[in-house]
Amino acid sequence: MGYEFYPIPTRAGRGMERYDPNTNKVRIGGVGDVPMDMGVKVSHKLFSPHAGLAYRAGAAWVFRAGYGINTDPYPLARPMRTNHPLLVDLNVVGAGTFQFAGRLEDGIPPVVNPGLGNGVIDIPGTVGAITLDDQFRRGYVESFNFTIQRELRGGFVGQVGYVGTRGIRQMVFQHINYAEPGRGNAGRVLNQRFPGRTADTRVVRPFGTANYNALQAQLDRRFSGGYQFHATYTWSKAIAFADEADDALRFNAPQALHRNRATTGYDRTHNLATGFSAELPFGRRKRWAQQGWGRHVAGDWLLSGGFGAYSGTPFFVTAAGASLNAPNNAQTADQIKPLVKILGGAGPGQSFFDPLAFRAVTEVRFGTGGINNLRGPGVVDLSLGLFREFAAGERVKVQFRTEVFNAANTPHFNNPGNNVSNLRVLPDGTPDLRGFSEITSAQNDERQFRFGLRISF
């Protein structure tokens, strides 16, 4: 059982700053009548129980299970450290998507250096801000697992189990100065209450749930003669409202909030990883080259390697948001085919997925396409290493290392272009991709060699 307490952070000599959406003012903790915590209440009941169980059934079976609760340790000082007036985040926006925000000849609007006043100060409508709710209910993560381990024939040891987590009140950034579809900057929520308040205003808020569920399998074998083999496989899925604690919700209009919950951008359905190490059969007490120059040159080398193969990351098809005209809301394309065929193309002019399965949205509404409902190209990787350690005197040892990363020089492609508004369909029905559905880049992880020399004494 553990206990944690997370007070509202403070600065040296005073508290942090917090925007008040009820008054359109900024409250500065510890100045004037504003309390150090800016009036934000936190919980004093953050207990973290943990329990585990292991049972051996006979000589070959072992059962394990565990459960625990961990408080989300996300530091509020990270998003709140550069708030107004310590940082003046000036946002200059036009009234609509195609309306200019200002003229270059007029220059950048002057930035006023505000003071702390009596602890409650004004904030310009074009200056962004971050805030907290009056009651900050910090979230937590439930973790649970159940595994079965068994000794198999041939000296193999296998293990299979379920591992899951459930995040309660996941930390996200939520824009509270959003606009409904078609309303534009003039229709932002705070601009309606406080004319001129058009800047982005975010609240750091525990919001919704996150889930991870996985089947994990493992196989190990130690052979005689210095050989080892290890393999793991994971079949999993992660679903959340945002990928990371510092991420903002894609949709902030109330009717679209539920669309934020989707497969995470880092999810990998299948993940296979294998590894091996082998002492080469040369040298003293080995099969060959037990003495002489053969032992000095070829003896005592260790070969190791690893092979991995895993699914690509999810992505979704976007569209231009001009017709939506809803600040702080994402726009997806319309999916016009029930199934999206994966064509697997890579390179200019080649489609990775069917580009005609989507179309741009020209009405004042959200597109029908989902979030992270497609998956990019997978990854296959092979790495090798060759090591030798030998004595250079009584107290000095020298280790030589040669490593090869991505030994097969397999290209690992990035996800394809996903903005359907780039697509043009020619009169004969041929798609002019213009980057849409095309894979035009790859990761910078071509085959690499690394040599190393380590001396220990």
Element spanning 315, H or E: strand 314-315
DSSP tag of 254: G
Tens digits of per-residue pLDDT, 380-422? 999 999 988 777 777 888 888 999 999 999 999 999 999 999 9
pLDDT confidence of residue 293: 63
Residues 133-155 have a mean pLDDT of: 94
pLDDT confidence of 66, banded at 50, 70, 90? Answer: very high
More confident residue, 100 or 131: 131
Instruction: Lowest mean pLDDT of 114-118, 144-148, 298-302, 367-371, name the range.
Output: 298-302
pLDDT the model gives residue 246: 87
DSSP string over 368-415: S--SS-EE---EEEEEEEEEEEEESSSS-EEEEEEEEESTT----BPP
Q: How high is the pLDDT of residue 358? A: 97
CB of 158 within 8 A of CB of 150?
A: yes
Give the pLDDT mean for 12-37: 94
The three state secondary structure string of 23-88 is CCEEEECCCCCCCCCCCCEECCCEEECEEEEEEEECCCEEEEEEEEEEECCCCCHHHHCCCCCCCC
Token pair 């919704």: residue? 208
Give phi and psi for 130, each to the nearest 5.
-125, 145
- Delimit the domains of the chain by residue range: 1-138+165-207+237-267, 315-377+412-457
Q: What phi, psi does 393 have (nearest 5°)?
A: 110, -175
Residues with Cβ within 8 Å of 293's Cβ and at least 6 positions away in sequence, in order, are none
pLDDT digits (tens, 9 = 90+) for 81-108: 988 888 777 667 776 666 677 777 877 7
Cα first-last separation, the chain = 44
pLDDT average, residue stretch 217-235: 91
Distance from C-alpha of 161 to C-alpha of 365, rounded to nearest angstrom: 44
Tell me if 131 sits within 8 A of 21, measured CB to CB: yes
- Please give the mean pLDDT across all residues of the chain: 91
Classify residue 347 by its DSSP letter.
S
Q: What is the pLDDT of residues 252-295, one digit of tens each?
A: 999 999 999 999 999 999 999 999 998 877 767 676 756 666 66
pLDDT of residue 295: 62
Q: Is the pLDDT of residue 297 over 80?
A: no
CA distance 312 to 375: 6
Distance CA 291, CA 282 (A): 9
Residue 86's pLDDT is what? Answer: 84
Identify whether the C-beta of residue 387 lies closer than 8 Å to the C-beta of residue 401: yes
Residues 6+ apart with CB under 8 A from 414: 376, 439, 441, 442, 443
Measured CA to CA, the distance from residue 181 to residue 187 in angstroms comes to: 9
pLDDT in tens, 164-183: 999 999 999 999 999 999 99
For residue 247, give the DSSP letter: P
- Of 300, 303, 276, nearest to 403 by C-alpha is 303
Question: The tokens 């904030």 sit on which residue?
Answer: 123
Give the pLDDT score at 436. 97
Residue 119, CB-side half-sphere exposure with 13 Å CA sphere? 15
CA separation for the pair 231, 218 (Å, rounded):
6
Q: What is the pLDDT of residues 441-457, one digit of tens each?
A: 999 999 999 999 888 88
User: Is residue 300 pLDDT above 90, yes or no?
Assistant: no
DSSP letter at 303 equals E
pTM of the predicted protein model: 0.86
Do residues 327 and 178 touch, judged by C-beta distance below 8 A? Answer: yes
In angstroms, the CA 183 to CA 97 distance is 10
Among 245-254, 286-295, 343-352, 429-438, where is mean pLDDT lowest? 286-295
Alpha carbon 117 to chain centroid, angstroms = 40
Measured distance CA(449)–CA(451) in Å, rounded? 7
Contacts of 153 (CB under 8 A, 6+ apart): none
Residue 92 near residue 110, CB atoms below 8 Å:
no
Work out whether strand 41-42 and strand 135-136 pair parallel, antiparallel, or are unpaired: parallel
At residue 296 the predicted structure's pLDDT band, cuts being 50, 70 and 90, is low
DSSP at 9: P
pLDDT given for residue 110 in this prediction: 74
Q: What is the mean pLDDT of residues 136-140?
A: 95
Residue 76 · residue 138 · CB < 8 Å: no
For residue 379, the one-letter residue type is V
CA gap 370, 335 in Å, rounded = 8
Report the distance separating Cα 436 and Cα 423, nearest Å.
6
* Dist. CA 187–CA 325, nearest whole Å: 10
Q: How many CB atoms lie within 10 A of CB 428?
A: 5
**Preceding peptide of 85 cis, ω within 30°:** yes
